[in-house]
Amino acid sequence: MPGNLDLPGAWRQPIDLTDLVSIPGTSLNVTTVGAFVTRQGWTDIDGQPISYTSMPTIGSLAPFSSPGPTRDGRMKPEITAPGMGIASTLSIDAAPGILADSNLRLRIVQDGVHWVIEGTSMAAPHVTGVYAQMLTLNPTLRDAFTGPSANNDWGFGKVDALGAVENLIKNIPALQAGSDGVTFGWNGTPLASTYNVYRGDIRLLNGTYYGTCFRQGLSSPAFTDTDTPIPGSGFFYLITGVKDGVEGLLGFKSDGSPEPNDAPCSP
């Protein structure tokens, strides 16, 4: 996508590639992501103001974002995300060649380590990151949770990362403390016959403080805490397994050495 060199402060908009979505975007059981515009212009590494020649409207569907449906009538894309005018990381290996190219050089922003590019390949990572956050909070999520209305240009609309995570947290009962406290559970291991739980003030968590013994000799991988932390604070928990009277480690430091346990549950 060469720049318009007659106008040093302009950049030619990408060719309109709005053919119907094709492989691999037509795949079954995957999320296909469309792209919308998030930036009209930028300042390049040489201090020049650069812009797309046609000045696309911010928030509009990118001209290269392929619409659906698929050949067998399925709706695509499922969702859209920022994908045009994205200041993405510039590979240290690619930088010398891009800097030497008078057209591509216009894309490098002032910090010298990012450059402005576009594509649904820029949009998809936004959605991947949101999915990762959502599945971290609730690994049981399935595609049945998506809404009922959509279209073949925008899918179900623009991704809302904050809204997705906020709504997800509200729908996880385990994160809402009731009068009977909060119950925590984890996957048990055959290498442990019982478990010990350490609890501490999250404000004090550091490389030497890991709380104190809170529950000892649990026969199942779960416990309930009925206490409430003081306002502005919170609790953290660490779990160890015990087998034949030997307690497991609290974990390892970055150098590979064991974390110290100065107040063990097990003698």
Q: In this predicted structure, what is the pLDDT of residue 5?
A: 28
Whether pLDDT at 93 is above 60: yes
Give 267's pLDDT tier (boundaries 50, 70, 90): low
**0.85 surpassed by pTM:** no
pLDDT at residue number 143? 63
| Mean of all residue pLDDT scores within the chain | 80
Q: What is the DSSP string of the chain?
A: ----TTSTT-BPPPP---PPP-TTTT-TTS--EEEEE--SEEEBTTS-EEEBTT-PPTTSBPTT------TTS----SEEEEEEEEEEE--TTTHHHHHHSTTGGGGBBTTSSEEEEESHHHHHHHHHHHHHHHHHH-TT--GGGS-S--BTTTBT-B--HHHHHHHHHHT-GGGS-BTTBEEEE----TT-SEEEEEEEEGGG-SSS---EEEEEEESSSEEEE---PPTT--EEEEEEEEETTEE--S-B-TTSPBPP-SS-S--
Residues 6+ apart with CB under 8 A from 262: 208, 210
Q: What is the pLDDT of residues 107-166, one digit of tens each?
A: 999 999 999 999 888 999 999 998 888 887 777 776 655 555 677 777 877 888 877 766
Q: How far apart are CA 267 and CA 264, in angstroms?
A: 7
CA pseudo-torsion sign 80, 83, 89, 90: positive
Mean pLDDT throughout 80-86? Answer: 91
pLDDT of 168 reads 62
Residue-range domains of the chain with CATH:
33-170 (no CATH), 182-247 (2.60.40.10)
**Separation of alpha carbons 259 and 251, rounded Å:** 5
In this prediction, residue 33 carries a pLDDT of 92
Please say if the pLDDT value at position 102 is more than 70.
yes
Q: Are 113 and 27 in contact (CB under 8 A)?
A: no
Predicted confidence at residue 97, as pLDDT, reads 92
pLDDT in tens, 42-70: 999 999 999 888 778 888 988 888 888 88
How confident is the model over 193-210, as a mean pLDDT? 86
pLDDT of residue 19: 67
Distance of CA 17 to the CA centre of its chain: 28
Does position 179 have pLDDT exceeding 70, yes or no? no
**Model confidence over 227-265: pLDDT tens digits?**
888 888 889 888 888 888 888 887 777 677 777 777 788
